[in-house]
Amino acid sequence: MSWSSDLDLNGLPVFLALVEAGSFTAAAERLGCTKTRVSLKIRQLEERLGVTLFQRTTRRVQLTQAGEIFYRECSPLMAGLQDALSAVEGNDHLLRGELRLTAPEDYTARVLGAAVAVFGRQHPELRIELRSGDQISDMLEEGIDIAFRLGWLKDSSLRARRLGEFQQHLLASPDYLAEHGTPTHPAQLPNHAWVAFTPLSSPLTWALYSGEERLQVQMRAQLSANSTAGLSALLVAGAGISVLPDFTAEADIHAGRLVHLLPEWSLPVGNVHAVYPPGRYIPARVRSFMDFFAAWVDDKR
């Protein structure tokens, strides 16, 4: 195995993640990037080293003898590098460099943006880029430090920190209810027009709770939306009934544009997670913002 002077060290965290996750899919989820990105980085690393590091199968990847040697040598070196970086950062409380954040548009507008503005004023030497969008970003490809995910994480291999929660409300416009009637029990919901939120894994199935009673209802939808902004617009226009997070619906409820239905019944509480790349080393700017935002959310309750 021969080292090349132009070896791309960015491939080493990908290599370690693939070894520890055991598959390209799990490694991609852990890193917050695509399987294609992981495969490309591993192929480039193998080409630079001139050896095959993994034996690939349809289900798993397994280290070759050369891969085992490489992992045994790289793992403590990477851990030492992370410790060194952490020690250097720990000696300086002034945050510098760049912090890249991404979150859904509606959460950015109604919650995260204000917190970022205050954090930026507290750390004038830190350059912060806030990207908003309802599509999940490729963290590795785009250089994202923290990706905010709302709802439920699909895989436990993601490195994440829970920073808060939100309530979900069943909603419709006064015009829709005047024309179609107001449901008084969840069992009546399948008889109403439903607007589906397509990013959910089960956009038409919902569980509602009232005391010890639990009821699961299956809806039918003619209309659907892939963003909370689009869903809100359809509901306000009288398209039907659906569910929105409390921070999204609050203004429309107070203005009378939407009505909170079945308030005596509860929907599952959604979580807010900060997802970040794996590894023992977490940059001080990332740790500081997560601590700040957790306190920010707690103070706003």
- Does residue 2 come out as left (phi exceeding 0), alpha (psi in the -120 to 50 range) or beta? beta
Percent residues over pLDDT 70 in the chain: 84
3-state class (DSSP) for residue 87: helix
Of 32-46, 68-82, 201-215, 277-291, the poorest mean pLDDT is in 68-82
Backbone angles phi, psi at 147, to 5 degrees: -115, 125
* Cβ(273)–Cβ(149) below 8 Å: yes
Picking from 210, 211, 207, 241, the residue whose alpha carbon sits closest to that of residue 223 is 241
User: Does residue 289 carry a pLDDT above 50?
Assistant: yes
Q: Which single residue is written with the structure tokens 């548009």?
A: 105
Q: Give the span between the Cα atoms of 150 and 245, in whole angstroms.
A: 10
Q: Where is 47: in which H helix or E strand?
A: helix 35-49
Picking from 128, 139, 152, 146, the residue whose alpha carbon sits closest to that of residue 275 is 146
Mean pLDDT over 178-207 rounds to 93
Distances (CA, A) of 149 to 116, 139, 161, 197: 16, 12, 10, 16
User: Half-sphere exposure of 221 toward its Cβ, with a 13 Å CA cutoff?
Assistant: 23
* Cβ(54)–Cβ(63) below 8 Å: yes
User: Does residue 231 carry a pLDDT above 80?
Assistant: yes
Where do the domains of the chain lie, and which CATH numbers do they carry?
11-90 (1.10.10.10), 97-165+271-300 (3.40.190.10), 168-267 (3.40.190.290)
Q: Give the span between the Cα atoms of 272 and 294, in whole angstroms.
A: 10
Q: In 40-133, which ranges are E strands? A: 54-56, 61-63, 97-103, 126-132
Q: Give the span between the Cα atoms of 150 and 147, in whole angstroms.
A: 10
Mean pLDDT over 201-210 rounds to 90
Q: Give the span between the Cα atoms of 13 and 240, in whole angstroms.
A: 47
Q: What is the pLDDT of residue 3?
A: 47
Q: Token digits for 243?
A: 């569910």
Mean pLDDT over 22-40 rounds to 82
Mean pLDDT over 265-294 rounds to 86
Q: Which residues contact 50 (CB under 8 A, 6 or more apart)?
A: 1, 2
Picking from 292, 293, 280, the residue whose alpha carbon sits closest to that of residue 76 is 280
Distances (CA, A) of 137 to 20, 67, 175: 22, 30, 37
The band of 5, judged by pLDDT with boundaries at 50, 70 and 90, is very low
Cα 286 versus chain centre, distance: 15
CA dihedral 242, 299, 98, 44 (to 10 degrees): -50
Q: Give the span between the Cα atoms of 91 and 18, in whole angstroms.
A: 32
Q: Of 60 and 194, which is predicted with more confidence?
A: 194
pTM of the model: 0.66
The band of 171, judged by pLDDT with boundaries at 50, 70 and 90, is very high
Q: Which residues contact 146 (CB under 8 A, 6 or more apart)?
A: 99, 100, 101, 102, 274, 275, 276, 286, 289, 290
Q: Of 104 and 60, which is predicted with more confidence?
A: 104
- Structure confidence by residue, pLDDT tens digits, 139-166: 766 778 899 988 876 655 557 888 888 9
Mean pLDDT over 176-196 rounds to 96
Q: What is the pLDDT of residue 169?
A: 97
* Cβ(247)–Cβ(110) below 8 Å: yes
User: Does residue 78 carry a pLDDT above 60?
Assistant: yes
User: Does residue 12 carry a pLDDT above 60?
Assistant: yes
Q: What is the pLDDT of residue 144?
A: 85
Percent residues over pLDDT 90 in the chain: 46
Average pLDDT, the chain: 85
Picking from 96, 175, 155, the residue whose alpha carbon sits closest to that of residue 278 is 155
User: Does residue 130 carry a pLDDT above 80?
Assistant: yes
